[in-house]
Chains A and B, each alone.
Chain A
Amino acid sequence: MAASAKAQGYRVIGTRPVRHDGVDKVTGRAKYGADYSFPGLLYGKVLRSPYAHANIKSIKVDKAAALPGVKAVITADDLPALADKMEQAGEQALNLAQLSANILARGKVLYDGHAVAALAATSPHIAEEALRLIEVDYEVLPPVMSVEVAMKPGAPILLPGLRNKDEGPDKQTNVATHLQFKRGDLNEGFKSADYVVEREFKTAMVHQGYIEPHNAVGIYNPDGHATIYCSTQGSFVVRSLSAAVLGMPEGNIKVVPAEIGGGFGGKTTIYLEPLSVMLSKKTGHPVKMTMTRAEVLRATGPTSGSTIRCKMGCTKDGRLVAAQIWMAYEAGAFPGSPVGAGAMTIVAPYNIPHLLVDAYDVVVNRPKTAAYRAPGASNAAMASETVIDELADRCGLDPCDFRIMNGAKEGTPQTAGPPYRRIGFIETLEAIKSSPHYKSKLEGRNRGRGVASGFWFNVGLQSSAIVNIHTDGTASLVIGSVDIGGTRAAQAMIAAEVLGLDVNNVRPLVTDTDSIGHTDVTGGSRTAFATGWAVYEAAQDAVRQLKERAARLWEKKPEEVGFDNGQFVVQGDGVKPMTVKELAGRLARTGGPISGRATVNARGVGPAFATTVVDVEVDPDTCKVEILRATVAQDVGKAIHPGYVEGQMQGGTAQGIGWALNEEYFYDDKGILRNSGLLDYRMPTCLDLPLIETCIVEVPTPGHPLGIRGVGEVSIVPPPAAVANAIAHAVGVRMTELPMSPPRLLKALLGKRGSAETQAAAAGR
């Protein structure tokens, strides 16, 4: 468990203050993207494809444009054509032509819900009615819904220009990329194995499920400058991508990040933003666009469904010796599934001498996938962590002990080769072993306990921070990282710690793209790590400047001035120490205001590990699975605000449980999404989950001034496998499909009973 703040010499870090933006958020005053309004506001809506795969022969908009109240209608022809190649846009690499074609289809629609046209009107109702008047002539094509179909020779082709290295420059294909990771000698490895388990897994496409639909207000000025108000994980990404799609200079766009109602990776790209600007340009009015829930589910980026074949071998005494993995992920309509991450995470927690991983990124007629919390890792862990559980059972070993025996430590090579630096995987297993939950007895029929572990890289990237010292001795902290779950509080705590101030005397401000240096997305578990680092350095910069002022007042050299526990001190001749407050009052006379500044392109990212234990009870007749108890242990490096760290661990666990049991994209045979609402896209309610116990493990990241590790993602990785392992121990069937919904579990159970009966019959004969 987390050592107390004091024990580690911290005054603020490790405590649980009320978040600075809290009152606004419990009183309804906080402004989210959809809450913005401006004089003359128009409402934009998007017309979406009713087909999964079709050529657009023509679009007639005149009837819609003629409806009273409609001010403008746009199609892809209103956006510039862009180069069809990978480019660096902001911090991410992507194909801008494909990005643009996802925002408004060009010539072809590639999934149910693909945007075809957009319009702006004086009321949202008029806009909706006008959509019905746009006439689109489609030539319907056969939909390609699964990686299996997409990879078959002669499968219908989604993107005529798509090629890959394996198949060569002349071959049209739906396979965008093939990645391979190789180590040792597989045959050798499997020869030395006493037990080998091989299974094929299928996981369904699932959505991040943030409660706030995407939104944007675009305001285009006649001077060619535009402002976008929107809920996003990265205001600078919105700026660079929108500029590219609109063909505008990046500097001509200012993005004002509103409060954000959840993202989980899904709000790291753009959909409505450039459309709202283009409609504003055409009409001369501010244009607000918000998605319906059906639009969010049909047309924003979920994460990949996948097919994974996983073969692993171990010796009698439980040493993993070899693993062979084949994985294909649904990219959606355009390349870019997280299969690379899947490949590099699937056995990342373990030291396996002989390894071969083949990974394929495959386009299908489903929405273009976007990042979702540890993208690609949960699908992968469903495969590897259930196979490992089966091997542990074969060896008669405790699942934690099996993982400890094979677990990665400092120096263990990662899948792509580089060795780990100091990591806390083993520590998460030890924490689970000593948890009250794991020590408790699980009794009763049809009940089972399952354990699984997970790995996530975490990312670093760029952040900027400014710390202003005010004359009353308080500070304001300016950052570009949007607050998606306690960011302001955590960053203010870091600044307060360094400055020796009360956390309530540091006022955090999340600002727009013109008011702070480049700051990458609040995502990739990078914000506490990288922005926290920038804030730490900016506060140190302010302290350095304050020391100079103290030195001037005391007629000493700056290096003679010390700073301890909020007080500036100097050795000898009885000089009375000064607090920041006292010094702040004298800034004007000692050289003027003080702003501490820092930017980072953070290095030395420490990866995150989590281990989760789940108890379930299965109704053997209806095959409904109840989660009785869940505990998650995670290495967080250093918990700044333990309350929000626990929140990340609990939230990821809850999403992982939803993924495990009921969440899935359900398409019919025509490729139409049949559950595009929260009634039938079944996320857990609070009646579906127990209290979620947490064990915060703190193995500091080497090199980071506070030892912070990203905490945002890894907790979603273990749950699907942990639940599958619990079900196996409850009713004796190994599930290989996600979600493990009652119909799927019933099928598996009936299959098992069936075979049991036939065996019994055979035995009886």
Chain B
Amino acid sequence: MDMTLPLLILVLPITMFLILGLCGMKMSHKLAGTLGTIGMGITAILAYTVAFTYFFSGNPDFVTAEGVRQQFEVFNYDWLAFTPTLIVQLGFLLDPISALMLVVITTISFFVHLYSLGYMHGEKGFQRYYAFLSLFTFSMLGLVVATNIFQMYIFWELVGVSSYLLIGFFYTLPSAVAASKKAFIVTRFADLGFLIGILLLSFFTDTFNFVELTSNPGTTISTLSAGGTFMGCSVVTWALCLIFMGGMGKSAMMPLHIWLPDAMEGPTPVSALIHAATMVVAGVYLIARMFPVYCLDEASMDFIVIIGAITAFYAAVVACAQIDIKRVLAFSTISQIAFMMVSIGAARPELHEGLGYMSGMFHLFTHAMFKALLFLGAGALIHAVHSNNYTDMGGLRKYMPITHWTFLIGCLAIAGIPPFSGFFSKDEMLTAMYDNSMFLGVWMTMVAGLTAFYMFRLYYMIFWWEENPHYKDHKPHDSSWTMSLPLIILAVVSCVSGFIPFGHFVTWNGEPYDIHLKMSVAITSIVVAVVAIALATVLYRKKNDVPAKMANSVKWLWTAANRRFYWDEIYMFVTHKIIFNIICKSIAWFDRHIIDGTMDMFAKVTQKVSYAIRGLQSGSIQTYVLWYFAGAILLGLVVWMMVI
């Protein structure tokens, strides 16, 4: 395959970033926005071309005669040679999941660019915003097409920083600054694990390359096993779990999830792009990328499943008790990503041809669409009522029909109601989980039910419940076409994308297979979803005091859930009280007083001694001579004794 197009996919966004970043201040808002959007549009077209070529051209590089999809390195340049064998390369790996991600990222990114034309209209720093979006897109694309784990790490950091910049976009707000800092530091901490994981992995296997690592996973594992064990776990498990730690950070798994809700301080389209659809699934993507290696190590797979399952449930419960609509969506995102994690973690090649892998990626795709839809919808709402809290909303369905309908579609999709896309992917995931273990299946079904409940609670609270009196002064209305169009298109996609025969495109080993609904699971999940929606309908359709009473009856639970089970407080305590106040301050004190004090002490002691012995120079000749004589005699005696 010609490398021009793939290269352009990367070059275009970074060029946009540079142009907008360097010359943006000189441009008008309109020009900058248009430029960014068009650039992104072209990138999207290129990405689609590449993805379609990959999936449909039948080129033997991409797919064998038997229909097995291949991994193909379009190009791979040496970037930095640590040792003659351990070389970091920058390249473009085309395989099912990267092609899929190309589509997802460029699509959402384009819609967000378009949407932001309206949403960010007139904001100060509009050009900067577009520059950052381009930077993010570049980094994310670089991440997904990485040919080696180190390239992924590079772009991993870059998306981190783009995310930092975008969360802190409204940099005059202290909350935004704090949130962006938190996001960066938490993910950075996770990346530390990732880095150590890479160190271990690359040291034993002497390669970073994904293809080399995954084409012969057995060898990879056995070379890693040669590293022996440390603290009861094998090096394999250590390496893989540490790498997963990186994923936990980016994908906001417990206990590293705390940054994501706060990240909602950023502009809403950013939340849609980064914190719902693309960046946060990087963790899932990472595991999927390394899946052939992971699936040979039970311990790390179990670790993934456990973390995922706990996170999914936790996030779902917390989502039920949030007031800020973006926070609800954020926790829903955490929960859904955890779903994908569990799905991939539960997948085994021998179980159902690794169904969990396929379904996880499928859900990644559908979730990206409907979650972006929901976020953009939320953005429209916030734009309209100038508040993030649903308590300031209610009854909006009359005022904002487009938003209402698209939002509803999003909710249905996430709740897993057929024929919307979420149903299909979730069903496959649950199937994979039931295959893995009954308990896991039931647990995750319960989470799915909670998902349906809190989404519809949100839906009703926004669009039904009771009309907010403020509307009289300031009538909310649907937004301009730039904002509505993405909503509509994404809604359509959410409706239809479930029917994509995903198993033909993305499977763990490239061999396509048909997917079919497993009726028992499908029916169970539909029933659970419907019951949950019904419950939400009963509770929240009209204003009543039942929810408040319920909340009051288990007040501690409600408060705890509302406060996200005090995770932030714990973190605050550890970082501020312990690390900052105790460790850092004492180190700084130690430095100033002990280390520096010692150095100063040398000086002081010298001065003191100098002062103390000044009597030697008494001014009297007789003392001088006494010293003289004593010195001469002493000199003789001491040396004489030495000689003897």
Are A and B interaction partners?
no
